[in-house]
Amino acid sequence: MTSKEIILNNIKQNQNIQQIPLPEIPNINEIYENIFEQFANTIENAGGKALQSDINKLNNLILELYPKATKIASNIKIPNLKTIDPNIYTNPHDLQNLELAIVKGEFAVAQNGAVWIQNNQNKHRALYFIAENLIIIVDKNNLVNNLYEAYKQIDITNSSYGVFISGPSKTADIEQSLVIGAHGSKSLYVIFV
Amino acid sequence: MNSHQKKAANFVANTKKMQWHDKALWFVREKRDIASKSLPQWESLREYANQIKTHTMGKLDFYLQQFEENAINNGIKIHWAKDAKEHNEIAYKILKQHNVKKVVKSKSMLTEECHLNQYLEQNNIKVIDTDLGERIIQLRKEPPSHIVLPAIHLTKEDVAQTFAKHLYTDPNNSDPTYLTHQARLHLREQFLSADAAITGVNFAIAQTGSIVVCTNEGNADMGTSLSKLHIASMGIEKIIPRLSDLDIFLNLLARSATGQHITTYSSHYQAPKDNGEFHIIIVDNGRSQFLQNKKYQKSLNCIRCGACMNSCPVYRRSGGHSYGYVIPGPIGSTLGAFKKQKDHSDLPFACTLCSSCSDVCPIKIDLHKQLYHHREDIVKAGLLNKKKQFILKTTALMMNYPKIVDFMGIIIRKTIPLLPDFIVYNKSNIWGKYRQMPKMPKKSFKQIYKEKKQ
């Protein structure tokens, strides 16, 4: 017998759990009056910041936020901003000295301040984690109330990867003191355009 | 004295540290309370989670096969390991095939359970734990003392000393921000020089054949996105049926663990990267045994948030290392005592039966009831220590004869006040070791009751 057969047999032989049906889950989570405000408050609690901008003013805003950044990679075109296309690299290790990554987010979740990122055109997942700072650009119409609505929209089957990001990376592993900037980005802005 | 008591006594000996530990974990519990109370639907979420998990465990063979089929269709390679040994051998074989010299690993209690690090190190593969807390304890050669906060037993000065020794940082600088950023630099080098990444699994979705890994630091994400090879280890109980079930579980997990709305990163791995390989090892290692036991089967529903530990008055004051099982606290006590009753018969007694753990458990596992059942089973198995056995037997005998109780009452009330301390507080008086005996009343409760009734 293979280990798979042994394990499945063990499960069948030991099965003694009273069978109950799989519950259908309704939307039991909150609906917000001001959905942007809710998102902004929640992500600020997680150490990030939400902003709104016009697409034509986006380059100025980014340069205001990160005036010193010279090595900026982006998988979306931003008018008048010079960025590196991360897809030109064959090896994700080449992204290691990025000061700023600007990436496309699919939608934002007001309930928990998370942004869903799933971009089949982006070659390196590392782009979301390796840069010192991260900006996620989200269409201002793409805000959902909660995770229930989020998973209604998510179709991951044709993708290899998707991620919720909520804030900059953080840790409290030393004496429970919160420190921003563990392994991923040290700062995070979510900009709605 | 049994082993939890002995080790707890060592932990408690450093009163200041013990009190800090107690307060720090209670603070996490309070954050959890704020987060859960901010959701009016919290109790509904718990009930749905309970139902989803119970349903899934009831059809576990079906869902595991569905998961495997879908994952294979996604291009993921699936391996089955009946025990820890086989798990380690499979992981090693994959790493060897890819000629891996160094692997970065994110937090996985399963690999701790299997002692994977030691196994790989013996076979000349360097393993770097990348969660900050895990890296600290790895450098110190200690096991984690908490499943979410692995280095909660250490002070920042301890960490400063450890980093000074291994990472050549300033030994006098114990500022957590300084230490964390030094670790960031050190681990960045490790991420960039590793040949493979190993992660645990928070949730495995049968419907899509994908897995979800949650971190705040981004270490699992960094590791898996920089190396071509990703191996994920999961226990058979990590399965949930549908992607949409994550609505329930992601809402519960971080709020219960740390009081956050969601972890910073919730990575959904669906398929290997271009030119990459993605392996998942599905491990039993004694888990399927839980299914047959009505009393303990619910512990398979655990999502490893750690809320029961943060709530437990015994855990907070005795520290995770007192437990001697890979997972400490209430959930570890029931898992350990079921898996190896003889080795861990002390754990169900490291409990006040206050039920705080069951109250905070996001999946509504009946933890305190399980610990109570374990006590019964341990007594039946004759594993109780001799002294306790004697006390319980004598008490049971006395309680059967009210006249003896009355008589003993009189003797105790009259004689204790007359006896010198060295006799009252002699070695066999365990209760009196840390406590003062109460003042002896003149009359028994029974006498007072009778008088009042007249």
E strands, A56-128, are 72-74, 100-104, 107-109, 114-117
**Preferred mutation among A103, A129, A145 to probe B, highest tally of B CBs within 10 A:** A129
Q: Do A174 and B180 touch (CB under 8 A)?
A: yes
Whole-number Å distance between alpha carbons of A75 and A85:
6
Q: How far B64 CA lies from chain A's nearest CA (Å)?
A: 9
Q: What is the ipTM of this complex?
A: 0.98
The single residue listed with the structure tokens 């610990």 is B371
Q: Is the pLDDT of residue B391 over 90?
A: no
**H or E element, residue B21:** helix B15-37
Q: Do B221 and A18 touch (CB under 8 A)?
A: no
Q: What's the pLDDT at B421?
A: 87
Counting one residue from A and one from B, how many pairs have CB atoms under 8 Å apart?
Answer: 257
- Residues on chain B touching A183 (C-beta within 8 angstroms): 130, 184, 187-188, 191, 217-219, 221-222
pLDDT band at B389 (very low <50, low <70, confident <90, very high): confident
Whole-number Å distance between alpha carbons of B367 and A126:
40
Q: Is the pLDDT of residue B192 over 90?
A: yes
Region B171-192: mean pLDDT is 97
B277: left (phi over 0), alpha (psi -120 to 50) or beta: beta
Mapped onto helix, strand or coil, the DSSP state of residue A73 is strand
Contact criterion met (CB below 8 Å) for B419 and B426: no
Q: What's the pLDDT at B386?
A: 85
Contact criterion met (CB below 8 Å) for B218 and B245: no
Q: Do A17 and B57 touch (CB under 8 A)?
A: yes
Whole-number Å distance between alpha carbons of B265 and B163:
26
Q: Do A46 and B271 touch (CB under 8 A)?
A: no
Q: What's the pLDDT at B454?
A: 78
pLDDT in tens, B330-356: 999 999 999 999 999 999 999 999 999
Q: Do B80 and A28 touch (CB under 8 A)?
A: no
B382: left (phi over 0), alpha (psi -120 to 50) or beta: left
Q: What's the pLDDT at B2?
A: 64
B282, closest residue in chain A (CA to CA): A4
pLDDT in tens, A113-159: 999 999 999 999 999 999 999 999 999 999 999 999 999 999 999 99
Q: Residues near B199 by Cβ (< 8 Å), separated by ≥ 6?
A: B105, B106, B108, B213, B220, B223, B224, B230, B231, B232, B233
Q: How far A54 CA lies from chain B's nearest CA (Å)?
A: 27
Q: How far A49 CA lies from chain B's nearest CA (Å)?
A: 13
CA atoms in the 13 A half-sphere facing the CB of B167? 27
- Residues on chain B touching A120 (C-beta within 8 angstroms): none
Contact criterion met (CB below 8 Å) for B314 and B352: yes
Label residue B118 exposed, middle or buried (CB < 10 Å: 0-12, 13-18, 19+): exposed
Q: How far A40 CA lies from chain B's nearest CA (Å)?
A: 13
Region A74-95: mean pLDDT is 94
Whole-number Å distance between alpha carbons of B80 and B90:
9
Whole-number Å distance between alpha carbons of B198 and B246:
22
B277, closest residue in chain A (CA to CA): A160
Residue of B236, B264, B271 lying closest to A165 (CB–CB): B264
B73, closest residue in chain A (CA to CA): A157
pTM: 0.95
**Preferred mutation among A5, A11, A130, A190 to probe B, highest tally of B CBs within 10 A:** A11
A149, closest residue in chain B (CA to CA): B247
DSSP assignment of A20-49 equals -PPPPPP--S---SSHHHHHHHHHHHTT-E
Mapped onto helix, strand or coil, the DSSP state of residue B111 is helix
- Residues on chain B touching A116 (C-beta within 8 angstroms): none
Q: Do A163 and B271 touch (CB under 8 A)?
A: no
Express as a percent the part of chain B with pLDDT over 70.
100
SS (H, E, C) A114-177: EEEECCCCCCCCCHHHHCCEEEEEECCCCEECCHHHHHHHCCCCCCCEEEEECCCCEECCCCCC
Between CA B126 and CA B135, with CA B132 as vertex, the angle to 5 degrees is 30
Report the candidate in B33, B22, B19 with the shortest Cα–Cα distance to residue B257.
B33
Q: Is the pLDDT of residue B317 over 80?
A: yes
Terminal alpha carbon distance of chain A: 58
Q: Which pairing describes strands A179-180 and B77-81: parallel, antiparallel, or unpaired?
A: unpaired
A150, closest residue in chain B (CA to CA): B247
Contact criterion met (CB below 8 Å) for B55 and B300: no
Q: Do B265 and A111 touch (CB under 8 A)?
A: no
- Residues on chain A touching B293 (C-beta within 8 angstroms): 16
Mapped onto helix, strand or coil, the DSSP state of residue B215 is strand
**Preferred mutation among A174, A177, A185, A190 to probe B, highest tally of B CBs within 10 A:** A174
A173, closest residue in chain B (CA to CA): B133
Q: What's the pLDDT at A141?
A: 97
Q: What's the pLDDT at B437?
A: 85
Domain residues of chain B, as ranges? Answer: 43-287, 402-453
Q: Distance between alpha carbon B402 and the CA centroid of its chain, in Å?
A: 44
pLDDT band at A94 (very low <50, low <70, confident <90, very high): very high
Q: Residues near B118 by Cβ (< 8 Å), separated by ≥ 6?
A: none
pLDDT in tens, B273-292: 999 999 999 999 999 999 99
Q: Residues near B317 by Cβ (< 8 Å), separated by ≥ 6?
A: B8, B11, B12, B18, B21, B22
Give chain B's mean pLDDT.
Answer: 96
B21, closest residue in chain A (CA to CA): A175
pLDDT in tens, B205-262: 999 999 999 999 999 999 999 999 999 999 999 999 999 999 999 999 999 999 999 9
B416 beta partners? none
CATH code of the domain made up of A3-192: 3.40.50.10420
Q: Is the pLDDT of residue B1 over 70?
A: no
B286: left (phi over 0), alpha (psi -120 to 50) or beta: left
Q: Do B261 and A111 touch (CB under 8 A)?
A: yes
pLDDT in tens, B131-174: 999 999 999 999 999 999 999 999 999 999 999 999 999 999 99
pLDDT band at B388 (very low <50, low <70, confident <90, very high): confident
Domain residues of chain A, as ranges? Answer: 3-192
Report the candidate in B282, B250, B277 with the shortest Cα–Cα distance to residue B74.
B277
A21, closest residue in chain B (CA to CA): B55
Q: Do A184 and B265 touch (CB under 8 A)?
A: yes
- Residues on chain A touching B156 (C-beta within 8 angstroms): 174-175, 177
Fold of the B43-287 domain: Rossmann fold (3.40.50)
Q: How far B248 CA lies from chain A's nearest CA (Å)?
A: 8
